[in-house]
Amino acid sequence: MSAPLRPHLCVIGAGSAGLTATAAARAVGLSVVLVERDRMGGECLNTGCVPSKALIAAARHAEAVRRAAAFGVDAGPPTVDAPRVFAHVHGAIATIAPHDSAERFRALGATVLAGTARFLDPRTLAVGDIRIAPRRVIVATGSRPAVPDLPGLSSVPFLNNEDVFDLSALPASLVVLGGGPVGLELAQAFSRLGVAVTVATSGRALPRDDREAAAIVAARLRREGVDLREETPALAVRAAPGGVEVDTTAGPVRAERLLVATGRRPAVDDLDLAAGGIAATADGIVVDAALRTSNRRVFAIGDVVAGTPRFTHWAGHQAGLAIRTILTRWPHRENRDALPWATYTDPEIAHVGLREAEARARHGDRVRVVRADFSGNDRAVADGDTEGFVRLVLGPRGRVLGADLVGPGAGETAALVALAIAGRIGVGALAGMVAPYPTLAEAVRRAALGAYAEKLADPLVGGLMRLLVRLQGRG
């Protein structure tokens, strides 16, 4: 066997986290071996964020045709050409793929290996016949669809959030198991494209999101024709004429196709973590606050980490922290207090930072909550899309601690609040912001102004304002 490669860093996994880590490491001059067993770009590019948002975009246009009459435009019902829809989906992937390609990363100076990496011992890995003895390792192998232990599931064909984009035709009907972001995004998209969709979920829809905000999303899906069954666990699955039948606590559901969207599990099966001295649980690799594993030479980032928020943008953030720690040898710790996330249903739903209960646990009665509804936003009124709200959680001295948003463009507007939280900006800066008119982001400013309306209700502040008004009259 030839001598091992001895780079500064070996990155296992070429998804969003691994590619970000590799690019950052090369930017500062570290030698890198990047290993990928499947497709460059990982789940986000090939089977996750990119194809799902491309499908959602196609569905949004179909829905816009249906709603056109409300704006004085008569278009009739949309005609959906499924092959062209999925051609758009795969075209989006193909357009972005060169940015994530092996050729690009070789051009950056990384050594890119195709194959499965496994630990031989705490300091050495193998990819086929190639051995690697790096100074540091970053495990960024991501996650795979979780398959529930459901009687009969293994005996019927079913789709998951990865292979659903390999369809070339739309089924007449679809039953979705799972009411999280993936399940509801795909349920609404397929429904808008003309598929009869039923969703069965064991809890409420979007359980990680604000209950009021999630209820607005759920109500929209139902109005659009999605048969959304909350608190309805699936009990068993069986083949049926023309498709599948799912037994639920509310009775059977029959459809042509079944989509299982019940979460994801860490992709660690082939790594031989025990040989590398790396502790893991069923939820993923165990890390400290600086993303170091029980083997101090090895870091883990992204979906493979136990207990981590499984978002592409957070994986990229973790990649930067890991590279900074490796380069400086000083632990750079993650801080989830400014973490944003969004679900791209219509209306969109987003969250940033602390929830009200979390903020009160830290700051007690110094926490205030202010809100603005999109029904009072001129851009939303002009667009005919006024459902939803912006709710800000404020801490001591008016510092912005968190927000829940639901409505048009909530994911984009959440970025403004995320910046305020990361910059430790007070509500006064948001209230004093000059936003272009009319924009949806004005809802954030309107909510912030609510903090001052509360202050005017205070007897001392109100008395001072009345005094100033009387003094104006004497001038």
The string over 52-86, giving b where at least 16 C-beta atoms fall within 10 Å of a residue's C-beta and e elsewhere, is bebbbebbeebbebeeeeeeeeeeeebebebeebb
Strand order in the sheet with 117-121: 117-121, 124-127, 130-132
Q: How close are the terminal C-alpha atoms of the chain, in Å? A: 93
- Two structure tokens written together for 127: 């990819």
Question: How far lies 474's CA from each of 460, 463, 467, 471, in Å?
Answer: 22, 17, 11, 5
**413-445: pLDDT as tens digits:** 999 999 999 999 999 999 999 999 999 999 999
Does the annotation list 183 as a binding residue? yes
- Two structure tokens written together for 417: 């609040």
Distance of alpha carbon 377 from alpha carbon 446, whole angstroms: 9
Does the annotation list 463 as a binding residue? no
Domains in the chain, CATH or no CATH each: 9-40+101-144+265-334 (3.50.50.60), 153-262 (3.50.50.60), 338-459 (3.30.390.30)
Distance of alpha carbon 295 from alpha carbon 287, whole angstroms: 10
pLDDT at 469 exceeding the cut of 80: no
Q: What pLDDT is recorded for position 452?
A: 79
* H or E stretch covering 378: helix 378-383
Residue 459 pLDDT class (50, 70, 90 cuts): low
Do the beta carbons of residue 331 and residue 286 sit within 8 Å? no
Distance of alpha carbon 21 from alpha carbon 17, whole angstroms: 6
Mean pLDDT value of segment 220-244:
97
Higher pLDDT, 381 or 464: 381
pLDDT at 295 exceeding the cut of 90: yes
Return all residues near 132 (Cβ < 8 A) that are at least 6 apart. Answer: 4, 5, 6, 7, 10, 33, 35, 117, 124, 125, 126
pLDDT at 97 exceeding the cut of 70: yes
| Nearest by Cα to 78 from 94, 93, 66, 96 | 66
Does the annotation list 473 as a binding residue? no
Does the annotation list 179 as a binding residue? yes
Does the annotation list 74 as a binding residue? no
Q: What pLDDT is recorded for position 461?
A: 54
List, in sequence order, every residue forming a beta bridge with 198; answer none if it has no partner.
Answer: 175, 227
Do the beta carbons of residue 42 and residue 64 sit within 8 Å? no
pLDDT at 465 exceeding the cut of 90: no
Share of the chain above pLDDT 90, in %: 92
Q: What pLDDT is recorded for position 451?
A: 86
Mean pLDDT value of segment 108-120:
98
pLDDT at 407 exceeding the cut of 90: yes
**39-71: pLDDT as tens digits:** 999 999 999 999 999 999 999 999 999 999 999
Q: What pLDDT is recorded for position 457?
A: 55
Helix (H, G, I), strand (E, B) or coil at 362: helix
Does the annotation list 303 as a binding residue? yes
Higher pLDDT, 388 or 468: 388
pLDDT at 447 exceeding the cut of 60: yes
Does the annotation list 184 as a binding residue? yes
Does the annotation list 455 as a binding residue? no
pLDDT at 454 exceeding the cut of 70: no
Mean pLDDT value of segment 144-173:
95
**299-349: pLDDT as tens digits:** 999 999 999 999 999 999 999 999 999 999 999 999 899 899 999 999 999
Distance of alpha carbon 427 from alpha carbon 400, whole angstroms: 6
Does the annotation list 178 as a binding residue? yes
Do the beta carbons of residue 135 and residue 299 sit within 8 Å? no
Return all residues near 289 (Cβ < 8 A) that are at least 6 apart. Answer: 331, 333, 334
**168-198: pLDDT as tens digits:** 999 999 999 999 999 999 999 999 999 999 9
The pTM score is 0.94
Q: What is the dihedral of CA 38, 161, 142, 115, to 10 degrees?
A: -10
Cis status, amide bond into 241, omega within 30 of 0: no
Do the beta carbons of residue 427 and residue 399 sit within 8 Å? yes
Per-residue 3-state assignment (H helix, E strand, C coil) for 32-55: EEEEECCCCCHHHHHCCHHHHHHH
pLDDT at 475 exceeding the cut of 80: no
